[in-house]
Amino acid sequence: MELFNEGSIKFYADNVQNRSAEVFFNPVREFERNLNVILIKALKQDKMEGIDLFAASGVRGLRLSAETGKFSKIIINDIKTKDTVSKNIELNGIKNAEASGFTASKVNCTGLHFDYVDIDPFGSPVRYLPNVIASTKLNGVIALTATDTAPLYGKAKKACRLKYGAVSMKTSYFNELGLRILLKRTEELFNIMERSIDPIFFDVRKHYIRVYVRVARPAQDRIGFLYQCSKCPNRTVDHFDSCPNCGSKMIRLGPLWLGRLFDLDLVKSMVAISGGKEKEYLEALSRETEQVSYYTTDEIASYLKKPEKSMELMPNGTVLNPKGFRTSNDIKNILSAAGS
């Protein structure tokens, strides 16, 4: 094991980014953990009780307890690494954290109810959700990470159908499709527990989807479909069997979460207390509009067989893709604007 530093803490871990590492630590995820710290600092709640269920070295839970000032108590749990987590808590002199080593699916056996629960396993987080929801207070926050991007991003369609109960395909907006499929499955599991999700934040990259949802009372149904033309770039949440632009067959993708993806007020509060690359990301997110799915300048150009339009000419960019833009215009207007 090696000694590392991240944020304000030091900790022991193995620097191997694979599953056989004894104490897993991925330094590439520092940016994502920085956003995690900023988000917790920006929440209105204080004296929270939290649990980091898949802690590995404990870096996340240690940072949350040391850097946010928001937790009266945080449990840093991992089925394999309790001793290292205890050592890391001691190394940093953190008083409000304790190590534990149970399997995450037994979280409801603790009899505790948390304000914040973190689910960061290898692969999909969904199988842990029913127990986690039962252990989270109303208005509490659940953060979940999915690293099984092949099904979510449309590369493993059968696995997507089996695990997430949704039809996916390869698209230019694959990461938003994955995010909305993950949220759809999350919402279904919340509904079983007579709760609804209220998504407050996301950070989606090539190798993971990270999303934060508030536990809300059951709300109106926000699950539906996206219809993608099999030939042209057209896509719409309105039901068409054939494409109003080119007449080709429309493919029904989903079901998907069609509700909001983040809480603008929270993101603005996060902007106010951040700096550097994190602030840049948060500012861009705060400008994001609410249309479902985005187009990309390269897919439009390749369809039109014309040179790509610069993003400066396209309004409403998205943090999900540097060439992506959201628009309420229909496909005919988009194509004529891009072709002119």
Half-sphere exposure of 39 (CA within 13 A, CB side): 27
Quote the least distance from Cβ 84 to ligand SAM, whole Å: 10
Q: At its nearest, how many Å lie between ligand SAM and the CB of residue 180?
A: 23
Specify the residue, 143 or 256, whose C-beta has the smaller distance to ligand SAM: 143
Q: Give the span between the Cα atoms of 134 and 263, in whole angstroms.
A: 23
Nearest distance in Å: CB 292, ligand SAM = 30
Largest interatomic CA distance in the chain: 66
Residue closer to ligand SAM by CB (options 78, 148) is 78
Q: Are strands 97-100 and 250-257 parallel, antiparallel or unpaired?
A: unpaired
CA angle 125, 119, 226 (to 5 degrees): 45
Q: How far is the CB of 188 from ligand SAM (least distance, A)?
A: 22
Residue showing tokens 């067959």: 249
d(C-alpha 221, C-alpha 250), whole Å: 23
User: Would you say 80 or 137 has its CB closer to ligand SAM?
Assistant: 80
What does the binding site for ligand SAM look like in residue numbers (CB under 6 A)?
24-25, 29, 53-57, 59-60, 78-81, 103-104, 120-122
Integer Cα distance of 72 and 106 in angstroms:
22
CA-nearest of 325, 309, 305 to 317 is: 325
Q: How far is the CB of 199 from ligand SAM (least distance, A)?
A: 20
Shortest reach from residue 127's CB to ligand SAM, in Å: 9
Is the Cβ of residue 79 or residue 112 nearer to ligand SAM in the bound state? 79
The C-alpha torsion from 110 through 115 and 116 to 117, rounded to 10°, is 30
C-beta of 121 vs 244, nearer to ligand SAM: 121
> Phi/psi at 253 (nearest 5 deg)?
-100, 145
Cβ nearer to ligand SAM, comparing 3 with 272: 3
Q: Closest separation between CB of residue 64 and ligand SAM, Å?
A: 10
Least separation, in Å, of the C-beta of 314 and ligand SAM? 35
What Å distances lie between residue 18 and 15, 42, 110, 194, 316, CA to CA?
A: 9, 32, 30, 37, 37
> In the complex with ligand SAM, which residue's Cβ is closer, 85 or 167?
85
* Least distance CB 23 / ligand SAM (angstroms): 7
Q: Which is nearer to ligand SAM, 102 or 240 (CB)?
A: 102
Q: What gap in Å lies between CA 280 and CA 269, rounded to an integer?
A: 14
Residue with smaller CB distance to ligand SAM, 55 or 197 = 55
Phi, then psi, of 118 in degrees rounded to 5 = -110, 125
Token digits of residue 66: 């040391």
**Rounded distance between C-alpha atoms, residue 293 and residue 309, angstroms:** 19
Q: Are strands 71-77 and 48-52 parallel, antiparallel or unpaired?
A: parallel
The helices-and-strands tally (H runs, E runs) of the chain is 11, 15
